[in-house]
């Protein structure tokens, strides 16, 4: 079945460090790929997405490129801030006659130290 494998955490970085969170997927079709973020005490929020190979999603300084050849969608940010501390989830959708249920990875907890 479809699945997402995410870099295990927790990850702790200093402010202004470079961030990479790895994500790879297994899917029977052509998925759309997503990164969701969960800030403390809040619901999941869409961070960025890409719907086809070689697309790059970007938002709030974060980027991820849909790599079909390596089945990956790694999240990157050049200079992290304390406010980026959260749990990050990689996810995919295989569109199935309108049922676009998300399949999530296990999440990566990120802590940024001032």
Partner 1 sequence: GAGVSQSPRYKVAKRGQDVALRCDPISGHVSLFWYQQALGQGPEFLTYFQNEAQLDKSGLPSDRFFAERPEGSVSTLKIQRTQQEDSAVYLCASSLESVLAKNIQYFGAGTRLSVL
- Contact residues: partner 1, CB under 8 A: 4, 6, 32, 34, 36, 41-46, 49, 51, 89, 91, 93, 95, 98-107
Both tokens of residue 75? 């999240």
**Closer CB to partner 1, residue 34 or residue 112?**
34
In whole angstroms, give the CA distance from residue 50 to residue 89. Answer: 14
In angstroms, the Cα distances linking 79 to 4, 61, 72 are: 26, 8, 22
**Closer CB to partner 1, residue 37 or residue 112?**
37
CB 69 within 8 A of CB 8: no
Minimum distance from residue 12 beta carbon to partner 1 (Å): 17
Listed in sequence order, the residues at least 6 apart from 19 whose beta carbon sits closer than 8 Å to its beta carbon are 11, 13, 75, 76, 77, 80, 84, 110
Minimum distance from residue 105 beta carbon to partner 1 (Å): 5
Minimum distance from residue 69 beta carbon to partner 1 (Å): 23
In whole angstroms, give the CA distance from residue 66 to residue 30. Answer: 11
**Closer CB to partner 1, residue 13 or residue 87?**
87
Minimum distance from residue 106 beta carbon to partner 1 (Å): 5
**Closer CB to partner 1, residue 13 or residue 94?**
94
């Amino acid at each position: 079945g479809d699945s997402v494998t995410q870099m295990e955490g927790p990850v702790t970085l200093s402010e202004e460090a470079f961030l990479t969170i790895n994500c790879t997927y297994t899917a029977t079709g052509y998925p759309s790929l997503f990164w969701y973020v969960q800030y403390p005490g809040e619901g999941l929020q869409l961070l960025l997405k890409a719907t086809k190979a070689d697309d790059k999603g970007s938002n709030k300084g974060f980027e991820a490129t849909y790599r079909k050849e390596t089945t990956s969608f790694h999240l990157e940010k050049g200079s992290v801030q304390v406010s980026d501390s959260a749990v990050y989830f990689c996810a995919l959708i295989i569109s199935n006659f309108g049922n676009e249920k998300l399949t999530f990875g296990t999440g990566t907890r990120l802590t940024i130290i001032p």
